[in-house]
Homo-oligomer: A and B are copies of this chain.
């Protein structure tokens, strides 16, 4: 299975079409180099790779793209707790504001998917 399918799941076709329309050449590099070459390398499981991707994106200011990898982490076996720990830890290295912005995106995503935080459910 392609790495993009593993990370994008049901959004595969929508994301692929969208990125291709943004720019066919840039998308080709994202597809063939970023996803199907580098992220497809052996040596780290995809769950860990997605937690690392989230960490990189938090450092960049937690832009919208982070939603793709927050979903990708859950889709590849990360628990909600593991994603939360990843976000919380990043506050130590890049500060609370970027970590908080990422957590807001994650909370909105969980709400949209009808997943209540185990913390909130008590």
Contact = CB atoms under 8 A, between A and B. Distances in A.
Copies of this protein in the assembly total 6
The main secondary structure of chain A at its interface with chain B is helix
B38 A82 contact: no
A97 B92 CA distance: 8
Given A43-B81, A55-B56, 11 more contacts: A19-B100, A21-B120, A22-B104, A23-B103, A23-B107, A26-B84, A30-B96, A38-B89, A49-B89, A60-B61, A93-B96
A94 B91 contact: no
**Interface band, chain A:** 35 or more
A60 to B, nearest CB: 6
Contacts of A34: 92, 96
